[in-house]
Amino acid sequence: MDWTRITDPYEAINFFPAWIGTRMIGLRGTFGLLLASGDVIRVTSIIAMHQSSSGIVLLDVLLDQSGLPEGVDTAWAALHPARLGIVR
């Protein structure tokens, strides 16, 4: 399977909505990506996307530090520790 690396935000909008390509690829910040499992992965940047010849798209990301995100409601956090990556 051949893979194509895409780092240009304006090229990425051909595969994702324009807001993810032009606003998130290559920029630094702290945000979360919601997975189909309901878990959230905290990342600081989407470096690139990789598209396979079969149409599969993978994101190359920088992970954020673990722990509670700033501003999260502590009552919600106590009820959802697994979604925040907290193992007890």
Q: Can you say whether the dihedral through the CA atoms of 64, 33, 84, 72 is positive or negative?
A: positive
pLDDT > 70: what percent of the chain?
Answer: 64
Average pLDDT, integer, range 52-67: 82
Give the pTM.
0.57
Across 29-86, the runs of DSSP E, i.e. the strands, are 31-34, 40-52, 57-63
Burial of 68 (0-12, 13-18, 19+ CB in 10 A): middle
More confident residue, 33 or 3: 3
Q: Do 5 and 50 form a contact (C-beta atoms < 8 A)?
A: yes
> What pLDDT does residue 88 have?
46
Domain count of the fold of the chain: 1
Using DSSP, how many helices (H) and how many strands (E) does the chain show? 3, 4
Range of the domain at 27: 3-84
